[in-house]
Amino acid sequence: MIGFPILSLITFLPVLGMILILFIPKEQPKTVKYLSLAITGIQVVLAIILLANYNYGMAGIYEEKSFQFIEKFRWINITGISWLGTVKIDYFLGLDGLSMPMVLLTAIISFIACISSWTITKSVKGFFALFLLLDTGMMGVFVALDFFLFYVFWELMLLPMYFLIGIWGGPRKEYAAIKFFIYTLFGSVFILLVMIGLYFSTTETLADGSKVLTFNLLAMMNKSNATPDGILSLLNPNNYRFIAYIALFVGFAIKIPMFPFHTWLPDAHVEAPTPISVILAGVLLKMGTYGILRINYPIFPEVTIQLMWWIGLFGMINIIYGALVALAQKDFKKLIAYSSVSHMGYVLLGMASLTTTGVNGAIFQMFNHGTITAMLFLIVGVVYDRAHTRGLYDFGGLATQLPIYTGFVTVAFFAAIGLPSMSGFVSEALVFVGAFGVETTRTIAMISTLGILLGAGYMLWTLQRVFFGPLNEKWATMTDLDKRELAMFIPLTVIIFYLGINPSAMLNIMNTSVNTLVSFVVNGI
C-alpha cells in the first residue's frame, strides 16, 4: 500500500491551500488561481494514485479490515467516569467501493470547477479560499467512517457554500444562499439527533476488552454492538429506529434533493456562479444519496427493507415531477436544475431496488450525473458569460455561431437524455434493470420509464430553442469556446464516453462493495 496518509492528504490539502492563499497579497489574483488549480490538480493525481492502488476485491461496507487506505487513531478520548461512558471519537478514514467513485468524482469536478472559476474577478482570494474549504468538506464526507467526523465535514461545507452563492451569485443571491443554508441545516439537525441516538445505542469493544459508546459507523452496523437500552438499539423493544430512519433520511433527502424538499435547489442553482453550480450539482447532491447508502442502509437494514417501496416511490416522483417541471422552465439554468432533480430520482429508484444491479446503477448514476450535470452547468455558464441572460427564448441559432460549443452541448444533452454509448445510459439502464427486477418496485420502475421520454422532451426542446433556428442577430458577435473552456469540456466528454463504452471501469470498483452492501442489508451478512 501507500506509505503516507493519502486520504488525509487528499482531504486536507485544500485547507493547506486555503491557508497559503490567505497569505498571498490581494493584488496577485493570478497566483491565487494557479495555486488553487495546482491544489485541485494534485487532488486529481492523488485520486488517480488511490485508484491505481485500489484493491477491487475488498468490500468494505461493514468490515474494518476490508476497507482500504485506512487511517485511524483516537481523536477525542475522554476516559475515567462511569456515568457518561467514554467519549471516544476516532479520526477514522477509509475507502471502499462506495466512496472510491465519489472521491474520484470530487477530485475531478473540483478541478474542472477550478478551471471554470477563472472568470471570477470579484475578490478572487476569498473565492478560492472558500472554494478550497468547500473542497475539503466534500472530500471529507466521502472518506469519513466515524459519524462524528462525517458530520463535521458535512456541516463544514455549509458556510463556504453560503458565501460562494451569496457573494458571487446572481441578483437574488441572498435569498438563495440563506435558503440553501437554512434548508440544509434543517436537515442536518435531524442527522445530528440520530447520530447522538446511535451513539447511545452502540458500544465498541476496545483492545483492552472494555466496552465504550462510540461514533464509529462500522461499529453501529454490527448488531452485536447494540446496547440493551439505547433508544436506537435493536435490543430495545421500544426503540425509535423507524422514526430515526425517517429523520435521517429526510436529513439526507434535503441534500439529494428529494421531492418535496427540493425547492432550494432551483434557487441555489440559478443564483450560484457557474463553478459553484457545478460543484453543487456535481458533488453536493451526491452526498445525500451517499449518506443514505453509507449510513441508513447498513445501520437500519430492517427499516430499509420495510421502506423500499416508499424510497422507490419518491424516486419516481422525483423523476417525473422534476422532468415535468423542467419542461415548463424558461430559464436555462433552472431547467438544468430541475433536470438534476429528475436525474437524482434514478439514484433513489436504483437504491430502492436493493439489488446489485440497482444499487450499482444508483452509484454509477451518481458519478455520471456528477459529470454530466457539471457539463450542463458549464454549458449554461458559457452562454451566460457571453450573453448575460439565461432566458431560453432569448437565444436561437447559436449552433451556427458557435459550432464547437454546440457540439459539446449536443454531447452533454444526449448524455443527459441517456443515450447509449454515453455513461448516463448504462447507469439508468442498470437502475431500471434493478428496480424492475424486484416485485416491490416493478410498477414504480415501469412508470418511471416515462422519465426517459420527458427527459428527451425538455432537453431536445431546449436544444431547439437555444441552438437551432435562425441566428438571433443580437448574438452575431458571440465567440466560440476558448482554450480554457475546452479544457473543461474535453475531460468531461472523454469521461462520459469512456464510461459509456467501458462502464466496467467504474462498475468494477464498486461491484464488490455493492454486493456486500446488498447482502448485508437483506441477509444481515
Partner 1 sequence: MANLYQSLELIRPEIILSIALLVLVTCDLIFHKNKKYIPYIALGGLLLTGIFVIANSGASGFAFIQSELMGKIGLLAIDNFGTYFKALIIITSILIVFFSFSSEEIQKITDRIGEYYALIFGMILGMFFIVSSVDLILIYLSLELMSLSSYVLAGFTKLRDRNSEAALKYLIFGAISSGLMLFGISLVYGLTGSTNLYVINMMLQSPNANLFTLAFANILIFAGIGYKISSAPFHFWTPDVYEGAPITITAYLSVASKAAGFALLIRFIKTTYVSFVDPVGNWQLLPVFDWKSVLIVISILTMTLGNFSALWQNNLKRMLAFSSIAHAGYLLLGLVVFSNGGMLAILIYFAIYLLMNLGAFLIVMLIANKTGSEDIDDYNGLGHSSPYIGIAMVIFLISLTGLPPTAGFIGKLYLFIALVDAKMITVAIIALLNSVVSLYYYVRVVKHMYLVKPEKEAPAVIPNLSDKILLTVLVAPVLLLGVYFQPLVDWAKSSLEVLGLM
Partner 2 sequence: MSESLLINLSVAILFLPLLGFITVVILGKRFPKLYLLEVGIVSIAFILSLVVMFAKLAYFPKDIIAEFTWITMGSAPFAGSFNIDLGIKIDNITVMMLFVVNLISMLVHLFSIEYMHGDKRYTRYFSYLGLFTFSMLGIVLTHNILMMYIFWELVGVSSYLLIGFWYEKKSASDAGKKAFIVNRIGDIGMFLGILILWTNYKTFTFDAIYSQMAAGVMPFGSSAWLTAAGILIFMGAVGKSAQFPLHVWLPDAMEGPTPVSALIHAATMVAAGVYLVTRIFVMLTADAMLVIAVVGAFTSLVAATIALTQNDIKKVLAYSTVSQLGYMVMSLGVGAYAFAFFHLVTHAFFKACMFLGSGSVIHAMHHEQDIRNMGGLKKKMPITYYTFLISTLAISGIPLTSGFLSKDGILAGTLAFGKLTGHWLIPIMAFTVAGMTAFYMFRLVLLTFHGEPRDHHKYDHAHESPKLMVAPLVILAGLSIFIWYTPNPIGADAGWVLSSWIKTPAQVVPYNTRYEFMRPSTEEQKAEVHGEITHSVEYTETMHWAHYKAMFASLAVAGLGILIAMLFYLWKKVDVDKMIEGKIMNTLYRGSLKKWKIDELYDATAVNGTLQTGNGLSWFDQKIVDGAVNGSAWLTRFTSKLSGLFDTYVVDGMVNFTALFSGFVGLSFRKLQTGKVQTYIVFVVFGVIILLLLFKPF
Cα–Cα–Cα angle for 20, 25, 27, rounded to 5 degrees: 135
Q: Which does 437 bind (CB under 5 to 8 A by kind): partner 2, partner 1, none?
A: partner 2
Q: Which residues contact 116 (CB under 8 A, 6 or more apart)?
A: 274, 275, 278, 378, 381, 488
Q: Tell me whether residue 2 or residue 178 sits nearer to partner 1 (CB atom).
A: 178
> How far apart, in whole angstroms, are the C-alpha atoms of residue 92 and residue 213?
16
Distances in whole angstroms, Cα of residue 496 to Cα of each of 387, 483, 501: 27, 20, 9
Of residues 321, 332, 405, 489, which one binds partner 2 by CB under 8 A? 321
Q: Which does 447 bind (CB under 5 to 8 A by kind): partner 1, partner 2, none?
A: none
Q: Which residues contact 140 (CB under 8 A, 6 or more apart)?
A: 11, 149, 150, 152, 153, 156
Q: Which does 167 bind (CB under 5 to 8 A by kind): partner 2, partner 1, none?
A: partner 1
User: C-beta of 87: minimal distance to partner 1 in Å?
Assistant: 7
> How far apart, in whole angstroms, are the C-alpha atoms of residue 240 and residue 222?
18
How many residues can be counted in the chain? 525
Of residues 113, 380, 392, 399, which one binds partner 2 by CB under 8 A? 399
The letter for the amino acid at 344 is: M
Q: Which does 231 bind (CB under 5 to 8 A by kind): partner 1, partner 2, none?
A: partner 1
Q: Tell me whether residue 128 or residue 432 sits nearer to partner 2 (CB atom).
A: 432
Using CB under 8 A, which residues numbered 330 to 369 contact partner 2? 355-357, 360
DSSP letter at 280? I
Please work out the total of residues on this chain that contact partner 2, with binding judged by CB under 8 A.
64
Residues that bind partner 1 (CB under 8 A): 75-78, 80-84, 87, 123, 151-152, 155-156, 158-159, 162-163, 166-167, 173-174, 177-178, 181-182, 185-186, 189-190, 192-193, 196-197, 199-200, 231, 240
Of residues 446, 476, 490, 494, which one binds partner 2 by CB under 8 A? 446
Q: Which stretch binds partner 2 (CB under 8 A): 101-109, 262-270, 275-283, 295-303?
A: 262-270
Q: Tell me whether residue 7 or residue 471 sits nearer to partner 1 (CB atom).
A: 7
> How far apart, in whole angstroms, are the C-alpha atoms of residue 424 and residue 371?
9
DSSP letter at 472? P
Q: Tell me whether residue 197 or residue 273 sits nearer to partner 1 (CB atom).
A: 197
Question: With contact defined as beta carbons under 8 Å apart, do 356 and 518 qualify?
Answer: yes
Tell me if 67 contacts partner 2 by CB under 8 A. no
Tell me if 28 contacts partner 2 by CB under 8 A. no
Q: Tell me whether residue 84 or residue 525 sits nearer to partner 1 (CB atom).
A: 84
Of residues 153, 332, 395, 432, which one binds partner 2 by CB under 8 A? 432
Tell me if 389 contacts partner 2 by CB under 8 A. no
> How far apart, in whole angstroms, are the C-alpha atoms of residue 375 and residue 422?
13
User: C-beta of 185: minimal distance to partner 1 in Å?
Assistant: 5
> How far apart, in whole angstroms, are the C-alpha atoms of residue 518 and residue 350?
12
Strand partners, 74: 90
Q: Cis omega before residue 257 (within 30°)?
A: yes
Q: H or E stretch including 518?
A: helix 504-523
Distances in whole angstroms, Cα of residue 79 to Cα of each of 72, 211, 212: 18, 12, 10
User: C-beta of 123: minimal distance to partner 1 in Å?
Assistant: 7
What Rg, from alpha-carbon coordinates, does the chain have? 22
Tell me if 450 contacts partner 2 by CB under 8 A. yes
Tell me if 508 contacts partner 2 by CB under 8 A. yes
Q: Tell me whether residue 112 or residue 156 sits nearer to partner 1 (CB atom).
A: 156
Closest CA to 225 of 298, 279, 154: 298
Q: Which residues bind partner 2 (CB under 8 A)?
A: 179, 183, 259-260, 262-264, 266, 321, 324-329, 355-357, 360, 397, 399-400, 403, 407, 414, 419-421, 425-426, 429, 432-433, 436-437, 445-446, 449-450, 452-454, 456-457, 460-461, 463-464, 467-471, 503-504, 507-508, 511-512, 515, 518-519, 522-523
